[in-house]
Amino acid sequence: MKMTSKKSHSTEFIQEHVLTGYTITPVLRYNLDKTEIGMNIKPISYTGDDSLQHFFASGQEYLHAMELLHEVECKKPIFIEKGSEEYESHYKDDTCHICEEEINCKISLKEFIKLKHEMKIEEDDYTLEKSMEIPMYDANWLKGPKVWDHCHVTGKYRGPAHSVCNQQLKGDKTVPIFFLNLIGYDSHIIFRDIAEIENIDDVQVIAKNLVKFISFSVKMSDCIFKLIFLDSFNFLCSSLSKLTDNLKNKTDILIKESDKIEVYHQYFKNTYNNFRVKHPELSINCFQLLLRKGNY
């Protein structure tokens, strides 16, 4: 925040909020943080006058890393043991686990692809209206025969599926970035100067109104993946301050009956472990300051 003196009509501006720094903490699922590529995707902290430009440059680096991670680690073949319960149930179950409709196309996938080519059915033609032009088949049949659907990250079998449903179930090539109070505050600071940021090809916005954005996505140059900005408050049942207060009140009660360190380690595991690693010389009473809002 810096002091300024500007006038616009009847309004006098006496302060201007300026971005001075940021911290990004990446979170990877499926133990991808333990892979060779994942271990190089690390938190970034920065302070400086060019924080917004630096932030998007860091975002671009994350996108390139995620694209490499996707290429190397997200193409695992299906892992299922012959004779297992899952293996046997695949042949007995004729319900697509994706659309939950019956799989009534009984020809092979190779025959279906050949027939689809002969009928010149495009990828977006699997609608009831289109199938009405082909009386011998219905919309469900056009979803294709049964295939094995599996997770390409873990190789785990997920269930039987129509071949078309399986093809359409593609991973979303976006990297979500969560802000606390993005809608009410942070988005204003970002959009105020986003036009000056280099290497941004496109910005798409889902707006609540003219001044509040529910989310927005940013396409960076030379990147296949996109950054999508989301407000964490939309995924919580209450404000973060209220939720942490509830948790702290619960721990305050438990501390009276058991060991303070055990309670903090159970309910604030990551925060407590990070505190012990970075500040082993500080007492447990100093950790309590981290559980309060407005302490710097």
Looking at 124, 144, 168, the residue that finishes a domain is 168
**296 found inside a domain:** no
**176 found inside a domain:** yes
Cα radius of gyration (the chain): 26
Is 60 exceeded by the pLDDT of residue 84? yes
Residue 129: the pLDDT is 45
Which domain covers residue 223, as residue numbers?
A: 2-74+172-235
Percent of the chain with pLDDT over 90: 31
Same domain, 131 and 275: no
Looking at 152, 168, 184, the residue that finishes a domain is 168
Same domain, 176 and 287: no
Structure confidence by residue, pLDDT tens digits, 50-74: 999 999 999 999 999 999 998 998 8
Is 50 exceeded by the pLDDT of residue 30? yes
Same domain, 60 and 190: yes
CB atoms within 10 A of CB 219: 16
Same domain, 231 and 247: no
Looking at 194, 210, 235, the residue that finishes a domain is 235
Residue 163 burial (10 A CB sphere; 0-12, 13-18, 19+): buried
Same domain, 176 and 227: yes
**247 found inside a domain:** yes
Residue 4: the pLDDT is 53
Least confident of 9-18, 130-139, 171-180: 130-139
Q: Is the pTM above the cut of 0.75?
A: no
Same domain, 201 and 64: yes
Q: Which helix (H) or strand (E) covers residue 162, if one does? A: strand 157-162
Residue 257: the pLDDT is 60
End-to-end CA distance of the chain: 15
**101 found inside a domain:** yes
Residue 125: the pLDDT is 52
Percent of the chain with pLDDT over 70: 86
**17 found inside a domain:** yes
Q: How many domains does the chain have?
A: 3
Same domain, 201 and 59: yes
**79 found inside a domain:** no
**Cα gap 37→45, rounded to integer Å:** 20
Higher pLDDT, 254 or 85: 85
Same domain, 89 and 69: no
Same domain, 70 and 181: yes
Residue 284: the pLDDT is 78
**Cα gap 80→168, rounded to integer Å:** 22
Same domain, 193 and 69: yes
The structure tokens listed for 35 are 């892979």
Same domain, 89 and 230: no
Same domain, 164 and 122: yes
Residue 132: the pLDDT is 44
**15 found inside a domain:** yes
Task: Return mean pLDDT, the chain.
Answer: 82
**80 found inside a domain:** no
